[in-house]
Amino acid sequence: MQHHLFFAEVPFKTGDMIKEIFTLQHKLGSGSYGVIFSAIYSSGPNQKHVAIKLEKILP
């Protein structure tokens, strides 16, 4: 019996901005449902490091 691992592909990469408040820093991991990135959340003068999960789009 063969085991196949499927990893999600999402249309984002390091440096991309999402909704003009999240800047993707680097990929932390991925799985069959999505990818987790380290990101910077910016709201006015405030910034903080966050993790953000981006889920793949199903056909």
Which residues carry a binding-site annotation for ATP?
A: 53
User: What is the spatial distance between Cα 29 and Cα 42, in angstroms, rounded to a whole number?
Assistant: 22
Instruction: Could you list the beta-strand ranges (E) of the chain.
Output: 17-18, 22-30, 34-43, 46-55
Which residue type, as a one-letter code, is found at position 9? E
Binding residues: 53
